[in-house]
Copies of this chain bind each other. A is one copy, B any other.
């Protein structure tokens, strides 16, 4: 497959190095030093390569401009790796790319940045969201899924809005709560630091991430995060009001305990096969993703090997 990767930072660089030389890969980055590093690693560096699949891996803020430029280029399929999907989908539609665009998000990263930190091993076994919208071309989707599963990743089919809601719950919110907890602990001064043990250390770990990373995760997904944060504030306010009235936090403790157990007790999975040529394929993918399932391989002819909890 001819693949173009636009943006050669941590994620774009890792993807490029994972795909080269199995595929005919060309990469580009706005930064001349990054281009030099990539060329030194054996990557073909080219500004506007023709490709079967074009992967936009620039920072989120730049993806709108890149998509607008791609709308007039020869690129039949466009995907991206942004950590928020609703705004990028809107930009793709605005650029007239709706049918050709497949929103993507590999759930892999480190606290480092740049091509120098890129590592093909970072992607091994990662969950990789690929969005199926009402206007997504299913042949384009299956082509990107074949490329992604070929890298050893598990494709999670969903849609942009559902992705952003889940992302707010499992990434934006934990980062925000960790920062608020760190500030509250800091308010207890050196004594509180001397007494702090496991629950405080675990709960604040990700507050150590770079502030710009946390800001990007949260500001970039403001609508979904607003909704889940508002729910959470309401639940915590109820607990505070119960404490104040001489009541108990027990209902929240029990609900949290049940939810945590559901997360950690690994679900048994069953293998399922989907047929990309079936008339139900769009609905089949939506069901698979909603059930927590993944596409693990795409066979020639359109058979998808999948797993789902069950």
Contacts and interface: CB of A to CB of B under 8 A. Distances in A.
Interface of A: 107, 127, 129, 156, 158, 162, 165-167, 169-171, 173-212, 214-215, 218-219, 222, 225-226, 228-233, 235-237, 239-240, 243-244, 246, 248-250, 252-264, 267, 289-294, 309
6 contacts: A166-B192, A175-B253, A179-B255, A208-B257, A215-B253, A226-B240
Contact of A166 (B107, B188, B243, B267): B188
A309 to B, nearest CB: 6
Contacts of A258: 186
A192 B170 contact: yes
Contacts of A203: 174, 177-178, 202-203, 206
A173 to B, nearest CB: 6
Contact of A252 (B179, B201, B248, B289): B179
A148 to B, nearest CB: 15
A182 B127 contact: no
Contacts of A229: 236, 239-240, 243
Q: 9 tightest CB-CB pairs across the interface, nearest first?
A: A179-B256, A190-B292, A186-B259, A174-B203, A182-B259, A214-B253, A207-B260, A207-B256, A211-B253
